[in-house]
Chain A
Amino acid sequence: DVKVTQSSRYLVKRTGEKVFLECVQDMDHENMFWYRQDPGLGLRLIYFSYDVKMKEKGDIPEGYSVSREKKERFSLILESASTNQTSMYLCASSRDGNTEAFFGQGTRLTVV
């Protein structure tokens, strides 16, 4: 059974904190993605990576950075958390653009 695992289901952080969201996949996929889901806005792409140490900005990268040191792990970093980053964060991986992406269970982040 294929697996994308996000390190936390729920997180509460304070404004200004540095926040790390971790994602691990066990499918040897080249591509990994971070999305956020907000009501009425759907899933918006923050960053994606098509290879180790490679990353590309998505549609809403401001306030975020990513790290991919190993093929199976893709981390999302909020350098200084703000309340407008309260959201559901979803990690995904795929083999290529002609196959489906598999999602993790999501991390509900609340910034207070």
Chain B
Amino acid sequence: DQQVKQNSPSLSVQEGRISILNCDYTNSMFDYFLWYKKYPAEGPTFLISISSIKDKNEDGRFTVFLNKSAKHLSLHIVPSQPGDSAVYFCAASAATSGTYKYIFGTGTRLKVLA
């Protein structure tokens, strides 16, 4: 049972435009959410996170939105740059339950076209 889902395997966006990556989750115990970026043959690097007590968190070109009632989060990248081309994973944890493991989605491959 996939607790964290990324239903779009790939996304192409023109340079300078907005990239929106989506993620859905099923476990209502999740209270901390993260986005990671991964290049081929490298480990994932952390981008941005959000706690369930917030509905938005912003860091430079990256903004994460959380809709708890819909169990949905999204990552907005504005403006998109060719260097943003990578696979993006969302992840979730249920920290307050005392279980510190992170459950990842299947990833979305973003291609930013110059």
Contact = CB atoms under 8 A, between A and B. Distances in A.
Contact of B100 (A31, A104, A108): A31
Nearest to B48: A100
Interface string A62-101: 0000000000000000000000000000101010111111
Interface string A6-30: 0001000000000000000000001
Nearest to B38: A37
Give the secondary structure class of A's interface.
strand
A38 B7 CA distance: 16
A43 B46 contact: no
Contacts of A45: 101-104
A55 to B, nearest CB: 12
Given A42-B89, A43-B89, A97-B93, A33 B43 contact: no
B41 to A, nearest CB: 7
A109 interface: no
Contact of A33 (B51, B94, B95, B102): B102
Contacts, number: 72
Given A45-B104, A98-B95, A106-B41, 13 more contacts: A33-B102, A42-B106, A43-B107, A56-B101, A94-B102, A97-B95, A97-B99, A97-B101, A101-B102, A103-B44, A103-B45, A104-B43, A108-B41
Contacts of B89: 42-43
Contacts of A105: 42-43
B47 to A, nearest CB: 9
Interface string B63-101: 000000000000000000000000001010111100111
